[in-house]
Amino acid sequence: MSKAESTETTGDGVIQSVSGPVVSARDLDARMNDVVYVGDEGLMGEVIEIEGNVTTIQVYEETSGVGPGEPVENTGEPLSVDLGPGMLDAIYDGVQRPLDVLEGKMGSPYLDRGVDAPGIDLEKEWEFEPTVEVGDEVGRGDVVGIVEETVTIDHKVMVPPDALEEGETTEIASIESGSFDVTETVAELDNGESVSMHQEWPVREPRPSANKKTPRTPLVSGQRILDGLFPIAKGGTAAIPGPFGSGKTVTQHQLAKYADADIIVYVGCGERGNEMTEVIEDFPELEDPANGNPLMARTSLIANTSNMPVAARESCIYTGITIAEYYRDMGYDVALMADSTSRWAEAMREISSRLEEMPGEEGYPAYLAARLAQFYERAGYFENVNGTEGSVSAIGAVSPPGGDFSEPVTQNTLRIVKTFWALDADLAERRHFPSINWNESYSLYKNQLDPWFQENVEEDWPEKRQWAVDVLDEETELQEIVQLVGKDALPDDQQLTLEIARYLREAYLQQNAFHPVDTYCPPEKTYLMLTTIETFNDEAFDALEAGVPVEEIIDIESVPRINRIGVQEDYEEYVEELKADITEELRSLY
């Protein structure tokens, strides 16, 4: 059900028992997944099991003090979100209650119970500009007009998918420009349906689309190791598993800040309150790298921190992806970050164990794999029902217990996603950030994205990447020997390879998220950086062949400047000069 509608309830019941977030009621006339109001305080809940006369409900709020005998009201509607202008630059809890509005309503910094608010402001008026005229033919999902939602994003007002049958069209009967609130009719259709800026959609059901296509454009993140070695496509899926302290959240934040998507939906699922506060404080002040507008103008935040009710944690992922799909329908590229899907899985486990369901692996419910797959399948590059193209990229952080990737959530996620960024505690310990392990990570999108990089950056992008991967692979093998006998026991050429690999690791793969310049690295810079290291590589091996001792090559003065490319704003000039200096210095040795 949606909170925007006046609630007509049907079929009341009575609470039979209460155990934490799970409440059972008798005599409730309800369908699966109906939203209900529980107890005298009217706590929001959802039907998750029906057995005979007894209905089991998961409650999205604390249940302390609620007891048997209190009433349960059914709304007769599934859990839905309010869709319309006002979702950007907003912060929600797991069932799309706006947290800023709740603060005002509750008059307290603490989250009180039984307080509700619609997901979008129903009274705010928006300037509606029609894009079709009376008599124009429209079908499902067709855009009838636009509203400037934020400085960055034009919100497209669409014919709701349920206003018409699939393939059916009708004509615009009337439409006008002007100021409207979201519930007012902005256009009427010939078949009698009316269109307003407000739609609602049940969160557990994917919004319809025409077609899923193969994604061929990268989601450029400005993070060297991601763009350079393990790219994700617009419409792709990625997992970031890592033990605590390995930098999952920082990586997710970097993506939310710098990924070149039109819209960002950031779902903080069962994570730290202070982290969400950081996002709320930082994003309005940060600039969108694409246009200089505030980052919040393209961002919708969903914050269900770890101490907020567990059932709402289970639903927050769905709330997030439904909002993402809505913007996709407008033809936008949307990136959804979920931090962390493990907390979501644990919420499922907690509810499942309260229902006394037969547990699967490690206590997780047997449907864990299916739920994860359903979620990631809602991502993709789509042809929408209105003929436009849009994408939803889903990037999920995973928090494996003890950092052990063999646990069920990581394993079931890996079976679905095509990009894997493995975070590594060892790297994090030596403050190598982002601590993405280059040996374990992979991207299955590499080949289908290469044409884009060749066209938009440089023709030899794939070859350069392969060179870097080869050097890093060789280093890993050599390191094993070094562990046994020490570096000096290696032949000169291998010592040189180790040195080259060191620059790859320290200058290229490491990136300082807290440095104003280094935090975002455009693909051109990523490319130039790699070619600088390659220049050093080529010149150094030439010198070695000419008989220059390896110590002298390594010791040249100019080469440590590679480490400073990342922080240069005018990197092109710097790189040119550096390449020339390295070449000159090395050639002067022989």
* Residue 303 interacting with other proteins (CB under 8 A): yes
Query: Annotation-wise, does 235 bind a ligand?
Result: no
Query: Annotation-wise, does 277 bind a ligand?
Result: no
Residue 40 CA: distances (Å) to CA of 20, 30, 114:
17, 19, 9
64 or 179, CB closer to other proteins? 64
| Among the residue ranges 75-83, 148-156, 274-282, 410-418, the one whose residues contact other proteins (CB under 8 A) | 274-282
Whole-angstrom Cα distance, residue 419 to residue 441? 8
Q: Quick one: which of 286, 326, 318, 282 has its CA closest to 302? A: 318
Query: Annotation-wise, does 249 bind a ligand?
Result: yes
* Residue 349 interacting with other proteins (CB under 8 A): yes
522-561 binders of other proteins (CB under 8 A): 560
Binding residue for other proteins (CB under 8 A) from 52, 69, 192, 547? 69
Binding mask 97-126 for other proteins (x = CB under 8 A): --xx-xx--x--xxxxx-------------
238-257 binders of other proteins (CB under 8 A): 243-245
Q: Say which residue the tokens 């005018």 belong to.
A: 570
Query: Annotation-wise, does 242 bind a ligand?
Result: yes
146 or 428, CB closer to other proteins? 428
Q: Residues near 177 by Cβ (< 8 Å), separated by ≥ 6? A: 127, 128, 129, 130, 145
163 or 369, CB closer to other proteins? 369
Query: Annotation-wise, does 453 bind a ligand?
Result: no
Q: Residues near 201 by Cβ (< 8 Å), separated by ≥ 6? A: 80, 81, 83, 207, 322, 326
Instruction: Report the amino acid identity of residue 505.
Output: R
Whole-angstrom Cα distance, residue 257 to residue 260? 9
349 or 418, CB closer to other proteins? 349
Binding residue for other proteins (CB under 8 A) from 273, 284, 387, 451? 273
* Residue 369 interacting with other proteins (CB under 8 A): no
424-453 binders of other proteins (CB under 8 A): 425, 428-431
Whole-angstrom Cα distance, residue 133 to residue 174? 8
The minimum distance between CB 313 and other proteins, in angstroms, equals 8
502-521 binders of other proteins (CB under 8 A): 506, 514
Whole-angstrom Cα distance, residue 259 to residue 3? 32
Instruction: Report the amino acid identity of residue 337.
Output: M
Whole-angstrom Cα distance, residue 317 to residue 304? 10
Number of residues near other proteins (by CB under 8 A): 74
The minimum distance between CB 485 and other proteins, in angstroms, equals 7
43-62 binders of other proteins (CB under 8 A): 62
Enumerate long-range contacts of 53-56, CB under 8 Å, 24 or more apart.
53/26, 53/27, 54/16, 54/24, 54/25, 54/26, 55/13, 55/24, 55/25, 55/26, 55/28, 55/30, 56/22, 56/23, 56/24, 56/355
The minimum distance between CB 169 and other proteins, in angstroms, equals 43
Instruction: Report the amino acid identity of residue 259.
Output: A
221 or 305, CB closer to other proteins? 305
14 or 546, CB closer to other proteins? 14
175-234 binders of other proteins (CB under 8 A): none
Measured torsion, CA atoms of residues 157, 158, 163, 166, in degrees rounded to the nearest 10:
180
* Residue 346 interacting with other proteins (CB under 8 A): yes
* Residue 377 interacting with other proteins (CB under 8 A): no
Neighbours of 422 (CB within 10 A): 23
Q: Residues near 342 by Cβ (< 8 Å), separated by ≥ 6? A: 397, 398, 399, 400, 409
Q: Quick one: which of 449, 342, 331, 321 has its CA closest to 393? A: 321
Backbone angles phi, psi at 494, to 5 degrees: -70, -35
Binding residue for other proteins (CB under 8 A) from 51, 123, 167, 274? 274
Asked whether 158 and 386 are in contact (CB, 8 A), the reply is yes
| Among the residue ranges 172-180, 300-308, 526-534, 571-579, the one whose residues contact other proteins (CB under 8 A) | 300-308
277-296 binders of other proteins (CB under 8 A): 277-278, 280-281
Binding mask 477-496 for other proteins (x = CB under 8 A): ------xxxxxx--------
* Residue 402 interacting with other proteins (CB under 8 A): yes
The binding site for ATP consists of: 242-249
